[in-house]
Amino acid sequence: MSEAKHVPVLLDRVMDLLAPTVVGDRPVVVDATLGLGGHTEAMLNRFADLHVIGIDRDPEALARAKARLAGFGDRVTFAHAVYDEIADVVRDAGFSSVSGVLFDLGVSSMQLDLAERGFAYAQDAPLDMRMNPEDELSAADVLNTYEATELAKVLRYYGEEKFAKRIAEAVVAARDVEPFTNSARLVDLIRDSIPQAARRTGGNPAKRTFQALRIEVNDELGVYRRALPAALELLAPGGRVVVLAYHSLEDRITKHEFARATTTDIPRDLPFVPEGHEAKFKLVTRGAEVATEAEIEDNSRARSVRLRVAERVAA
């Protein structure tokens, strides 16, 4: 295996937020985005009685996490699954509820650091971007088969790319000459498709397109929309869902779902809440927390993180 670095984002803060939930006889936390297992390793070291269920759709990430966490023995259950299957995974592991769920969303450090996976625009590599290499749809498939209007919609919505139409039309014209296979050609096309003035700010102009392709290939937002309410329903009273989101689309889903879960179905002007109509959840964080400058200096991937937490207060 190639080497991959892994620095968990907001590690100490995540541990502190989970600490009040990890009590009682054999508490269980689901690491829904196991990756290389950094957050899970920290949880197992800090909480002596904790059992962690680690989910990842990437078989290479699972293999690396298993090796890293081998010393914890049967305190970890590994599941090769997409995290919207969380209810089935927890049931199959023999549990009916959990004390906490952690979502560390987006692409993992391993997937970014390994050039052959095709996630990083800074290195020439095959246009793959599948988190599970067994899936059928790759980034090259999207570029070579989507109509211009469909591709522009993907880039505009998932990448928040202002020049989506220009890029999509350039892709369709270029693939008629030669299909897309590697990232360097796409990066050059994106740069040439964007006005010169727009290239001077906002970092690499390919960033937004690569994000959009990755989200489309892996149905990331669709999976997360299904997974978050399922995770909330799995919580025992006092249990928490902790979410680390890295772009506005993920954070918006989190914000809306938490707002729905923490709102009662009675009029706001009613002076009391009738029994049985209490909200099942409460917000633990006020708005979204961000990383400190010190953390960003240590780990540049923390720059865009948004942390939100909800807790179950009623059965």
**Coil, strand, or helix at residue 243?**
strand
DSSP H or E run through 282: strand 281-283
User: In the beta sheet, which residues pair with residue 103?
Assistant: 243
Q: Is 219 annotated as a binding residue?
A: no
**Coil, strand, or helix at residue 252?**
helix
Q: Is 224 annotated as a binding residue?
A: no
Q: Is 128 annotated as a binding residue?
A: no
Q: How is 73-99 classified by DSSP, letter by letter?
A: GGGEEEEES-GGGHHHHHHHTT-S-EE
Phi-psi region of 96 (alpha: psi -120 to 50; beta: other; left: phi over 0): alpha
Residue entry with tokens 């095709």: 118
* ∠ CA 151-154-160, rounded to 5°: 125
Q: Is 188 annotated as a binding residue?
A: no
CA neighbor of 103 nearest in space, from 117, 84, 118, 88: 84
Q: Is 83 annotated as a binding residue?
A: yes
Q: Is 124 annotated as a binding residue?
A: no
Q: Is 202 annotated as a binding residue?
A: no
Q: Could you tell me the strand order of the sheet in which 306-312 lies?
A: 76-80, 51-56, 28-31, 98-104, 235-245, 306-312, 281-283
The annotation places the binding site at 37-39, 56, 83, 104, 111
The annotation places the binding site for S-adenosyl-L-methionine at 37-39, 56, 83, 104, 111
